[in-house]
């Protein structure tokens, strides 16, 4: 992770789902001074972040549908604004192997994420 952060100059992080959030487990700082600084233990949104979308996309259809039903319930009236980004991220994951979030979580934040699914589950 640190090698990638050094190469890109950007932070690289690992997160895991905690209900309808993603929690940062590890973060490596890049050399770029102007980056979003999220510390280990921080919770970020599942539905609008690249890492959250990667988590959703990595699940099988049944579990993904269950998670999306919960996200829809939580988002309420905002669901029509959130749903297209999640659907696009799932398509991107299936086609390219990664998910993105460009200004959808925070106006000045762009991110790319890849899910890590251990072979033993």
Q: pLDDT value at position 26? A: 95
Per DSSP (E only), the strands in the chain are 12-18, 21-28, 43-45, 99-102, 110-113
Helices (H) and strands (E) in the chain, counts: 4, 5
Strand partners of residue 80: none
User: Consecutive sets of 10 residues in the chain, 121 residues long: mean pLDDT of each?
Assistant: 93 94 94 80 95 96 97 97 96 97 88 91 68
Tokens of 59: 């699940």
Q: pLDDT value at position 88? A: 96
The helix (H) or strand (E) run that includes residue 120 is none
Q: pLDDT value at position 56? A: 97
Judge contact between 75 and 82, C-beta under 8 A. yes
Q: pLDDT value at position 106? A: 86
Report which of 79, 78, 100, 77 is spatially closest to residue 89, judged by C-alpha positions: 100
List of domains in the chain: 2-113 (3.30.450.40)
Report which of 23, 27, 24, 22 is spatially closest to residue 48, judged by C-alpha positions: 22
């Amino acid at each position: 992770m640190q090698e990638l952060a050094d190469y890109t100059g950007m932070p690289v992080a690992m997160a895991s789902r905690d209900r309808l959030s993603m929690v940062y487990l590890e973060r490596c700082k890049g050399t770029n001074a102007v980056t979003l600084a999220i510390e280990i233990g921080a919770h970020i949104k599942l539905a609008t972040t690249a890492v959250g979308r990667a988590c959703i996309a990595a699940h099988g259809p049944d579990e993904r549908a269950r998670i999306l039903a919960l996200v829809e319930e939580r988002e309420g009236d905002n669901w029509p604004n959130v749903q297209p980004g999640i659907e696009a991220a799932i398509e991107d994951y299936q086609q390219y192997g990664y998910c993105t979030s460009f200004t959808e979580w925070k106006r000045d934040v762009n991110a790319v994420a890849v899910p890590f699914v251990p072979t033993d589950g």
